[in-house]
Structure 1
Amino acid sequence: MRILMVGHYPPHKGGVANHTDSLVRELRKRHEVYVLTYGPIIPRDFERDAVYQVKVPPIFGLRGILFALLAFLKIIKLHKKLNFELIHAHYLGTTSYAGVLAKRKLKIPLIITAHGSDLDFMSNLPLGRYFVRESISKSNAIIAVSHYLKGKALSLGAKRVKVIPNGIRKLNSKKAARKYITFIGALAPYKDPETFIRLAEHFPTEKFLVVGEGPLMDELKSRAPSNVEFLGYRGDVENILAESKMLVVPSLREGFGLVIVEANSLGVPVVGRAVGGIKELIRDGKNGYLFKDFDELVERVELLLDNKKALKMGRIGRRIGERYTWEKVAERIEEVYTEVLGEGHDDSDKHAGRR
């Protein structure tokens, strides 16, 4: 197949970019895969001829709308040269709407993956809701990375949604003593790193690590106790987890929670808030604990500080992590491609929302 991926992609950081990068690497073993992403960027040398960009200003709101329009025009131009068989857009909203416009013009199928904040955040904005609903109704297939997101998509008009979780890349960590309680994620309000800092205050004899960057960085540093270390963004998450007793995920919303699976794959138990996709990844009392409020979080962390309990949960987590390989994820996505291409397509969008 000749496939065009549309959305965030390295050198961009974040969950969607990492997801798309891993999926593209796996699909390229069997298919021609090209990428259209937000510019300005400098593509990596090994794929310089396969990654295209639309340069848009870094202004929230305007950036996405301009991308939708300019990416649509770019797709038309690229299709004349490369003749794509399908478009796979990542993130419901303005990104996927570029695919909607291109599908209407080119009469080729459009698959969209919902990743989380698109349905949790974008769909609540007046204009964003329009882009999300149009994308859902005009797509040939919707993929959601969790059953939680599937429910959101169905509530917004999707007819049928295929749940295919994120995969994890193979992590080869160093051997190290487990000495930290760790937070990994964007330092943004919806990730609730403030609760993690409050937790550090409650356990002054434990060492806490904050891995990530974002708008709350300065504020968190100014009020964090001395037992908290800030590392900023790190690309070697496996080495961070190798030194972690446990991972804490206090997010207020989460479509999937890839770092949970990454932690489990390395034998690290996870304590996560009982919201969104987190509830699907943590089997309470097996590979970690769920919590609803701060008192319950403290209680769960105290339980995990019992080393024997943490080791047992870590072993279970490793077994669970083995199920989330990119080989398996790519195979399931290829099945969606094959099904959509086998249905036949016209400009009536009669297959919208089909698996």
Structure 2
Amino acid sequence: MRILFYTDTPHVGGAEKQMELLAKTARKAGHSVCLAYGVYSQLNNGRTALEKAYNELLSIRTIHKHDPRHYFALKRILKKGHFDLIHIHLWNPGSCRYAFFAASQVGVPIVTTEHDPFALHGWKQWVKKRCIKRTKQTIAISADNFRQLMDTFDIPQERLNLVHNGIELNRFLDKMNGAQLPIPPGDTVITCIAEMHPRKGHRFLLDAFSELQKTIPDLHLMLVGTGPLEDELKKKYGDQPNIHFLGWREDVPEILKASDLFVLPSLKEAFGLVVVEAMASGVPVIATRAGGVPELVEDGKSGLLVPPADSTALTSAIATLIHDPERRRIIQKAGLDRARLFTAEKMTAKTIKVYEKARFV
């Protein structure tokens, strides 16, 4: 099968990494996968990795996601490329609209993945409904995501498919050394890997950490990621010696191997892939009951779940696992077993079945 991936995102985050992993795994299964994207995107900064994942990169000379040249360029690409389908990856529900109209004009079947659905209003909702009518099959990355798509956009159930995201399991199972971190030997390390955005709930974790440090002075917090809140958080907490801002890192498996606990304090979370990565690394997980996260973590068995926006509950959960090494060990083992359910191979096999439905049903 010859497949065109498309996104108009200006950023690189979890959705774009999932696209890359899906492309790599689909190619191993014998399919051809090309990527079309705007030159303004941060994807352009990682062309070396993209070239390894995709058969071909097709950069479109546009200046932003609203540039109508997306439409004309995609029509040319789809006509010349002889693609069996286009897989449009929506980083928000109003994105990529030019791709829907270009593909329907050329007659190429459309599959979409809605990475972060939420309600639209006014003309955006009208355009969205027109895009949905042109879509053969839609992929939801969690059951929570699935329900939102049905309720918000009235997508018929026969055109909706649940395909959980996946990870390269062996990257996290490998017996690698942990990253070299500025931590004294024997101290306890809590790690949070997330975009520094209000919806990720960093301030609730930082409040919990400040409370815990009063009784556990050898506790350290590693914050991995960048985003719009980065400068504000650094200004407020950057002078605290046990809070470490590591920025964007490529060595996530090594950082997780050096961690004692992983915490994801999100207020909103479409899936929570980093939770699976932490479990696969053998790190006990504490997370919030946000979005798709409860589908990944069985509360009390493969991790602990707390309500979103509740620093007191976070404090209690973290303290519980720090002071109970036997419970940490049990959760660690159950988390590793749970992570094996969310592999790139399983994600790709289910996605290929969706492609076949889009082409032949």
* Same fold at TM > 0.5: yes
Letter in 1 for 2:114: A
Aligned counterpart in structure 2 of residue 297 of structure 1, from 303, 306, 314 = 314
Q: What's the counterpart of residue 58 of structure 2?
A: 52
Shift of the 139–94 alpha-carbon distance from structure 1 to 2, 3 Å rule, reads same
* Deviation string, structure 1 residues 221-274 (Cα, Å, up to 9, x no partner): 222233111100101111111111111111110000000000011111211111
Tell me, yes or no, if structure 1 residue 261 matches structure 2 residue 276: yes
**2:299, 2:273 → 1: CA distance?**
17
TM-score by length of 1: 0.87
1:237-276 equivalence runs, <5 A? 237-276=252-291
1:90-109 equivalence runs, <5 A? 90-91=89-90, 93-109=93-109
**1:183, 1:167 → 2: CA distance?**
19
- Which has the higher mean CA deviation after the structures are superposed, 92-101 or 249-258? 92-101
TM-score by length of 2: 0.86
Q: What's the counterpart of residue 154 of structure 2?
A: 157
The structural deviation recorded for 1:55 is: 3.5
Letter in 2 for 1:25: K
Are the equivalent residues in 1 in contact too, given 2:4–2:33 (CA < 8 A)? Answer: yes
Are the equivalent residues in 2 in contact too, given 1:211–1:232 (CA < 8 A)? Answer: yes
Letter in 1 for 2:261: M
Aligned counterpart in structure 1 of residue 206 of structure 2, from 186, 194, 197 = 197
Q: What's the counterpart of residue 181 of structure 2?
A: none
**1:49, 1:143 → 2: CA distance?**
23
Are the equivalent residues in 2 in contact too, given 1:197–1:220 (CA < 8 A)? Answer: no
Q: What's the counterpart of residue 179 of structure 1?
A: 188
Tell me, yes or no, if structure 1 residue 282 matches structure 2 residue 297: yes
1:60-71 equivalence runs, <5 A? 63-66=64-67, 69-71=68-70
Aligned counterpart in structure 1 of residue 332 of structure 2, from 311, 314, 322 = 314
Q: What's the counterpart of residue 37 of structure 1?
A: 37
Q: What's the counterpart of residue 241 of structure 2?
A: 226
**The residue matched to 2:66 in structure 1 has which SS?**
helix
Shift of the 55–220 alpha-carbon distance from structure 1 to 2, 3 Å rule, reads same
**2:166, 2:53 → 1: CA distance?**
22
RMSD: 2.1
Shift of the 282–132 alpha-carbon distance from structure 1 to 2, 3 Å rule, reads farther
Mark the runs of 5 or more structure 1 residues left unpaired by the alignment: 58-62, 344-355
- Which has the higher mean CA deviation after the structures are superposed, 219-228 or 242-251? 219-228
Shift of the 179–252 alpha-carbon distance from structure 1 to 2, 3 Å rule, reads same
**2:235, 2:245 → 1: CA distance?**
11
Mark the runs of 5 or more structure 2 residues left unpaired by the alignment: 179-185
The structural deviation recorded for 1:19 is: 0.4
Count matched residues: 331
**2:52, 2:207 → 1: CA distance?**
44
**1:342, 1:223 → 2: CA distance?**
56
Tell me, yes or no, if structure 1 residue 79 matches structure 2 residue 78: yes
Query: Percent of counterpart pairs with the same letter?
Result: 27
Letter in 2 for 1:21: E
**The residue matched to 1:28 in structure 2 has which SS?**
helix
Q: What's the counterpart of residue 350 of structure 1?
A: none
**2:126, 2:259 → 1: CA distance?**
43
Letter in 2 for 1:174: M
